Structure 1
Amino acid sequence: MNASPSQPHPAEWTESQGLLPSVERDLPAGRHQFHKEQMMAQIHEDLRTDRTPARPALARPRRNPFLRRAILLPAGAFALAGAVVAGVALSGGNGGGGKSAVATGPALTTQVGAVDAKGAPQLLDRISLVAADTSGPAVHDGQFVYIASKVAGTHVRTADDKSTIVSRELHDRRTWMSADGKDGWLIEAGETSEDGMTLAGNTPVSGAYDALVRLPTDPDALLRHIYRESDAVRDPEVPRDQAAFVAIGDLLTESYPPAALSAALYKAAAKIPGVVAVDDAVDAVGRHGVAIARQNDTDGERTEWIFDRKTLKFLGERNVVVEKMADSPFKVGTVLFTSAITQRAVVDAIKQVPGQAG
């Protein structure tokens, strides 16, 4: 892969943690983008802790492509479904019965990076060139895309009518997904047993390799598909352009897009209004980089895709509060979700890791 010229080096800053004040009120219905995801996450937590049920509107769990807004692709169509695990059956293991990653820490916070409103197209063009020059293995029938990552997040917990802002500790997340998207496995502390849980269904997720290779690689055609299908399922309170940006980000994270499609996704993102470059962002494991981002003005949150400053390799993503909203308990700088991709590979079996015999 050809390295691109490095970006100007900004002043360094460090991640910090600070306990934000408790809140005693609910957020309005619809404040957060994906209510069903929050409901499911809260149910998981309630089952684990056996405490007074929390109000789901307050929950802000970390993003989870298989237990959150599942993005589904029926055969022959590029469709985004906004329902949690719609068409996907979760079984095996014991749900959240494994080693818990219960949210007990203080809120994750960071210094918000400076925005360059005009720099995104140029940066995305460079990123797309790097992506196009990066050859990944093809995924064949019977094989699985393996992705290892580190994730953490911040949300509001309510117990005994008292609300506090808490974070889940940084923890491992590993997924396996078949080429056709109908068979997979998830291992994640606090969400599955130590052995994990199966992800299976008749409707394949859109991040499945077979689905990705059918998508157009012309950026304009690809973006039209994304807008059309995300329009059909997005939460009405999520702006249209933000929904499209998030949809592209989902295809860049827990999947293994072919090089041509990755390049097209970045070029398509450059055409979305409101997309900006950020001079400094940090992934879940502390790697600094530059970011491509877009702010959701309805909730004051910015979704950032983080790239290595020199190689422009995709590192991870995060959601950061960049504008204090009157009806939100989160301060500017709160990291609501953060992830770091540590490994992507193609393996021959579920629960097999790279380098292990089939």
Structure 2
Amino acid sequence: MNASPSQPHPAEWPETQELLATEERGLPAGRHDFHKEHLMARIHDDLRTDTTPGTPSAPAPARQRNPFLRRTILLPAAACAVTGAAVAGFALTGGGDGGDGKTPLATGPALTTHIGTADAKGASQLLNRISLAAADTSGPTVRDGQYIYVASKVASTFPKTVDDKTTIVSQELHPRQVWQSPDGKDGWLIERGETGDKGITLASSVPMSAAYNTLAKLPTDPDGLLKKIYQDVDKNRDKEVPRDQAAFVAIGDLLSESYPPAELVPTLYKVAAKIPGVVAVDDAVDATGRHGVAVARLNEQDGQREEWIFDKKTLALLGERTVQVKAVPGAGDDALKPGTIASTSAITQRAVVDGIKQTPSGSQAG
């Protein structure tokens, strides 16, 4: 939808090039494989079914996490991600192996990264370019009976306690597949190491307010959408999470593990530009090792920065990650050190398919 084919792509504008002209930095030695990860950010509930203290595979009981609860922040009802989250009315019911047949994921040294330079003044310009690029991209219309399919690569970092000794470890990079009906009532999740090979049902007794059908009815003017997001944040967020951070995280989750209507996506980026504290970051790496620029916001309470990572040339969304950028005063020995990646993701495929557990190639998953 460019006004003229001869006009340069937004990613090629001079202002954008100034931001993108940062030299790509290599990953720390010995950590390349571990820097390929995905977003399951800030999972503060159960991570494993096996929680027997003292066993090699059991994490610290006090810091258990649930891979289906991606965040402690309750996402806004109008903008929460269409994910395997139990927020906004989802009920997780066992499917396939019911979790009994899952193989625990291997863990290794904590994922670390170079902390990119934040530029508060550059955020508005970058988001404007990203919004224009998104407006130049078409998206599918989802019909009743079809499913939104999102595939990604993910990993997260957490404290693990064995024999009273706690260390910070990261999961191996692993695949995640989500299917969601447009009305939000039906879905499926397959995540290796977490759900078993066949996956689990994502069932809801009421329509998801973040479902595709509802998102299609949201306002596409930035001020109206921002007002709606803040209203829902105030109703649903964890009160320990700053209001602006909750709004930023909610938009990021929607962008990364959903498939919003094409006309809504540019508005979401314009809304993000209106949230105080949002910055541009000169260099960030997604779960599969792709370098890009990022739009980010720091949560001053926990010292973690939420980063949305975009391709430097096309400005297409690559993925998300959460990076510990500041030490938290008074934090315990199991706190993440600056430079640690708390969670990370890379979007590998998004599509509309004709059946649950069906992939874009037509094959059946699970």
Measured against the shorter chain, the TM-score band is 0.7 to 0.9
Residues 1-358 of structure 1: pairs in structure 2 closer than 5 A: 3=9, 4-5=11-12, 7=17, 8-16=20-28, 37-42=43-48, 44-46=49-51, 54-55=59-60, 57-59=62-64, 64=68, 71=75, 73=77, 78=78, 84=87, 86-326=89-329, 327-328=331-332, 329-356=335-362
How far does residue 210 in structure 1 lie from its aligned partner after superposition?
0.8
- Aligned residue identity for 1:171: H
Q: CA shift at 1:70, angstroms?
A: 6.5
- In 2, distance between residues paired with 1:72 and 1:205? 11
Change over 3 Å in CA distance of 1:83–1:134 after alignment to 2:
same
**Hey, what does 1:25 align to over in structure 2?**
none
Structure 1 position 205, deviation (Å): 3.7
| Residue identity opposite 1:14 in structure 2 | G
Shift of 1:242: 0.5
- Look up the equivalent residue of 2:174 and give its one-letter code: H
Q: Deviations over 1:200-227 (max 9, x none)?
A: 1113444421121121111111111111
State the 1:55 CA deviation.
4.3
Please give the alpha-carbon distance, in whole angstroms, between the structure 2 residues aligned to 1:247 and 1:136.
Answer: 21
Length-normalised TM-score, structure 1: 0.85
Letter aligned with residue 39 of structure 1: D
Q: Is the 8 A contact 1:60 1:336 kept in 2?
A: no
Q: Would you say the 8 A contact 2:131–2:269 is kept in 1?
A: yes
Q: C-alpha distance in 2, partners of 1:134/1:79?
A: 21
Distance in 2 separating the partners of 1:181 and 1:149: 20
Q: Which range moves more in the overlay, 100-109 or 285-294?
A: 100-109
Task: Name the stretch that deviates more: 174-183 or 203-212.
Answer: 203-212
* Paired amino acid for 1:300: G
TM-score (norm 2): 0.83
Percent of matched pairs sharing the same residue: 57
Q: Which amino acid aligns with 1:143?
A: Q
Kindly tell me: are residues 88 and 49 of structure 1, through their superposed partners in 2, closer, same or farther at Cα, counting changes over 3 Å? farther
Matched AA of 2:188: W
Render the CA deviation track for 1:77-133: whole Å, top value 9, x for unaligned. Answer: x38699657442322123433443525201000000011110000100111111112
Assess, with a 3 A threshold, how the Cα gap between structure 1 residues 289 and 66 changes in structure 2: closer, same or farther. closer
State the match for 1:26 in structure 2: none
Q: Which amino acid in 2 is paired with 1:187?
A: I
Tell me: CA distance 1:40–1:206, structure 2 relative to 1, closer, same or farther (3 Å).
Answer: farther
Aligned residues: 337
1:98/1:189 contact within 8 Å kept: no
Q: Distance in 2 between matches of 1:209 and 1:356?
A: 22
CA–CA separation in structure 2 for the residues paired with 1:264 and 1:56: 42
- Supply the distance in 2 between the matched residues of 1:150 and 1:46 (Cα, whole angstroms): 25
CA apart distance, 1:146: 0.5
Q: Distance in 1 between matches of 2:66 and 2:23?
A: 31
- Range 315-324 or range 199-208, more displaced: 199-208
Specify the alignment match of 1:24 in structure 2. Answer: none
Task: Report the Cα distance in structure 2 between the residues aligned to 1:57 and 1:225, rounded to whole angstroms.
Answer: 36
State whether residues 181 and 209 of structure 1, in contact with CA within 8 Å, keep that contact through their aligned partners in structure 2.
yes
1:113 and 1:67, CA in 2 relative to 1: closer, same or farther beyond 3 A?
Answer: closer
Give distance in 2, aligned partners of 1:85 and 1:40: 18
SS at match of 1:342: strand
* Partner Cα distance (1:237, 1:18) in 2: 36
1:177 to 1:50, Cα distance in 2 relative to 1, 3 A: farther
For structure 2, the residue ranges without an aligned partner over 5 or more in a row are: 3-8, 32-40
Amino acid at match of 1:11: E
Q: Which amino acid aligns with 2:252?
A: G
CA RMSD of aligned residues (A): 2.9
1:269-321 Cα deviation digits (max 9, x unpaired): 00000000000000000111000000000010000000000100000000000
**Does the 8 Å CA contact 2:155/2:345 hold for their aligned counterparts?**
yes
